[in-house]
Amino acid sequence: MLNAVIFCRHGETESNLGGWLAGSRDVSLTERGREQAREAAAALVAGRQTVPVVYSSPQRRALETAAVLAEALAVPIVPVAGLEERRWGDLEGGAIPADLLREEVPNGESLSAFGARVTAALDGLPVPADGRPPLIVAHAGTWPVLCRWLGVESALLWPPNASPVTLMRQGARVG
């Protein structure tokens, strides 16, 4: 089991800019989102942050961000089924609801099912042989599941777009 990861939410998308819920829709980054990804990559390189691999949600917005990061870090990208954003059903394409943590959504994925899917994907990630934390590129909804999985408290509902954050399991040692 991984004891530490670097998490990076994808860069800005049209849905982020417009304030509508993308969910399972395969939206791409805006030009600003691509610039955010380049800035995140530059920050990781400048901070001498090394990772063995980039694990990414297979959705376009995450893969576009992951590609920029992986190129700058000279590491491979591995798309990971299960890290996709929550499927919001009838709410997709509409305004972002105030109650993002509601259990059920019409014709969508329950919060419990979403959490179980992401947790299973995280459980399946291989631990790098050299002990360095991998970089995970995914979505706003992935953040609270990842924090719970690692046993980390976060005041953030989700991190800003393309802002890498290092998370370590409480009491864990890396390397």
Is residue 14 part of an annotated ligand binding site?
yes
Is residue 161 part of an annotated ligand binding site?
no
Measured N-to-C along each axis, helices 60-73 and 31-46 cross at an angle, to the nearest 10 degrees, of 30
Active-site pick, 64, 84, 85, 92:
85
What is the residue type of 72? A
Active-site pick, 10, 64, 109, 139:
10
- C-beta separation of 154 from 147 below 8 A: yes
Distance CA(50)–CA(106), nearest Å, equals 42
Distance CA(22)–CA(138), nearest Å, equals 13
Is residue 9 part of an annotated ligand binding site?
yes
Is residue 50 part of an annotated ligand binding site?
no
Is residue 13 part of an annotated ligand binding site?
yes
Known catalytic residue: 10? yes
Known catalytic residue: 139? no
Place of tokens 């893969």: 63
Annotated binding-site residue numbers: 9-16, 61
Annotated binding-site residue numbers for substrate: 9-16, 61
Residues with catalytic roles: 10, 85
